[in-house]
């Protein structure tokens, strides 16, 4: 039972680590998306500022800062500060993630590899659970290859279709037709035209 307890503990630790890591990756993705949206907002503000300045210049033939252009400039400054803050947060999260992944890698390297006896015991137990006879390693390579080839052969469903086969369907009635069919034998409409 010590083997199962050890495996269970390793699995739980791995799941916990993966969960924490996926949360960090999710946070990084969320902030990256928010950062992209904020940068697009900044570009919109630049375009709006340009239009405001041009319209004022077109009317007065001189450049002056109006209340509207000052407000737009202030909005741009606020957005720039927000972008800088978000970029800093994103870099910090990426740095933390990189440090954690290197720690996890070191921990994984410290975990001793399972012995042949343990791996055989685990393999036998899993096969017994599946209701199969445990493999004792006495099969020849030739019989193993033939089993692998048998597994690779496509299985045909009960309706006679082969996996990956193209199926042609009449767009009018929805019945299956042959590839070269011009008129549907079911609804008698032209398959490729209305």
Per-residue pLDDT of 149-178, as tens digits, reads 444 544 445 555 566 677 888 888 888 888
Looking at the fold, whether 99 and 190 belong to one and the same domain comes out as no
Residue 145 lies in a domain: no
Residue 138 lies in a domain: no
CA distance 71 to 36: 23
CB 169 within 8 A of CB 176: yes
Residue 34 lies in a domain: yes
Q: What is the percentage of the chain residues whose pLDDT exceeds 70?
A: 67
Residue 177 lies in a domain: yes
Cα 115 to Cα 1, 11, 122: the distances in Å are 16, 17, 11
CA distance 11 to 81: 44
**Number of domains observed in the structure of the chain:** 2
Looking at the fold, whether 115 and 173 belong to one and the same domain comes out as no
Residue 113 lies in a domain: yes
pLDDT at 118 over 70: no
Give the global pTM: 0.45
- Beta-bridge partners for 168: 177
Looking at the fold, whether 176 and 90 belong to one and the same domain comes out as no
């Amino acid at each position: 039972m010590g083997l199962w307890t050890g495996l269970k503990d390793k699995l739980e630790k791995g799941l916990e680590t993966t969960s924490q890591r996926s949360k960090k990756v999710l946070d990084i993705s969320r902030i990256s998306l928010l950062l992209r949206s904020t940068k697009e907002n900044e570009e919109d503000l630049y375009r709006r500022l340009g239009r405001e300045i041009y319209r004022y210049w077109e009317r007065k033939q001189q450049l002056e800062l109006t209340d509207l252009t000052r407000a737009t400039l202030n909005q741009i400054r606020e957005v720039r500060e927000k972008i800088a803050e978000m970029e800093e947060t994103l870099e910090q999260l990426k740095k933390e993630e990189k440090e954690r992944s290197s720690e996890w890698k070191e921990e994984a390297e410290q975990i001793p590899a399972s012995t042949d006896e343990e791996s055989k015991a685990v393999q036998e137990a899993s096969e017994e659970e599946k209701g199969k006879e445990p493999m004792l390693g006495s099969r020849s390579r030739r019989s193993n290859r033939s089993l692998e080839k048998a597994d690779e052969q496509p299985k045909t469903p009960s309706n006679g279709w082969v996996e990956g086969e193209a199926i042609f369907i009449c767009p009018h009635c929805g019945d299956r037709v042959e590839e070269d069919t011009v008129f549907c034998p079911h609804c008698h409409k032209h398959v490729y035209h209305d």
